[in-house]
Amino acid sequence: MSQLAANIQSKVVLVLLATGKQGSGVVRALAKQNDASSSSNPLPWTILAQTRDASSSKSRALGELRGVRLVEGSADSPELLFDAALPDPVYAVYSVQLGLDNPRGLDGEVEQAKRLADVAAERGVKHFIYAGGNFGGEGETYVPHLKTKLAGEEYLRAVHPTLPTTILRPVTFMDQLVQGDPASTISRLTKIMFLCQLRPSTRLQFVAASDVGAVAALALQHPEEYLGRVVDVAGDALTPAELEAGWREVFGVEMRPGMVGGSALSWAVKNGTRELRLMFKVSFILLFQISG
């Protein structure tokens, strides 16, 4: 018996880019809710984890989680991802797209977001969570890779106003400070870029991708509280000195500028150094209150 058949009453959630930072955070948070469920059949969620390669180590690790089913496919063909749930309907979608590293460029990111929203509306999705980006408030943004997120939001409002939607706007991902091995050249360059572009008094907000996943899972668990909302997601606000102190405490090494090889510089140019510079000219700070 297939997992979908076994969990016929589970709510099916399609998670895009399931092996990426955000996607895996959402998959793991939903699987954690499955683990906490007092009922084994049906589970609260059947999680369709979209991946480009179901045989990869990251995909296989997700496939071991409770209630997860790997779906190999492309963000360019979302209707095929929905078909993987048949005969069950897809209840919810976590919509996230590749941005600066999208093979089709930033225009491709927008087109993929639009097409996914179109199919979700056609298939009667009950909860569509769109992963946007925080740009320091409402209105326009001059940062190209955030403009694409805003374009996705505007499309949802203009074309699919009746699609039940929650928009998440995470700030800078803390995970970006570690690109692979913390001691690697690219990792050092990433940290240097953050430190050099921030004024000493500027606080940059961060959030862990796993925390964004937890918020998405909470929104799916309590739709009455989250549908129709735009939710800013932040975890901490750090100056360069505080960022360096935290890094030193965790990894035992200092974050200091140093010599960087040509390949690492090429990586930085390709992955948006100019856009980071634009972002760091201002302090993107959310106003939020922590209670407890």
In a domain, 202, yes or no: no
Give the three-state DSSP class for 254.
Answer: coil
What does the pLDDT read at residue 222?
98
When the pLDDT of each residue in the chain is averaged and rounded to a whole number, the result is 82
In a domain, 189, yes or no: no
pTM, two decimal places: 0.81
**Could you report the per-residue pLDDT of 177-218, keeping only the tens digit for each?**
776 666 665 666 566 666 666 678 888 888 999 999 999 999
Three-class DSSP labels, 137-154: CCCCCCCHHHHHHHHHHH
CATH code for the domain of 36: 3.40.50.720
Domain that holds residue 150: 3-173+207-235
- Of the candidates 213, 214, 190, 204, which has an alpha carbon nearest to the alpha carbon of residue 240? 204
141 has a pLDDT exceeding 70: no
In a domain, 31, yes or no: yes
In a domain, 251, yes or no: no
Higher pLDDT, 79 or 145: 79
Sort 106 into a burial class: Cβ within 10 Å, 0-12 / 13-18 / 19+.
Answer: middle
Cα three-residue angle 146-147-153, rounded to 5 degrees = 95
In a domain, 286, yes or no: no
Number of domains in the chain: 1
Confidence of residue 37 (pLDDT cuts 50, 70, 90): confident
Confidence of residue 277 (pLDDT cuts 50, 70, 90): low
In a domain, 277, yes or no: no
In a domain, 124, yes or no: yes
50, 93 in Cβ contact below 8 A? Answer: no
* Range list of β-strands (E), the chain: 11-15, 45-51, 68-72, 90-95, 127-131, 165-170, 172-173, 204-207, 230-233, 236-238
In a domain, 110, yes or no: yes
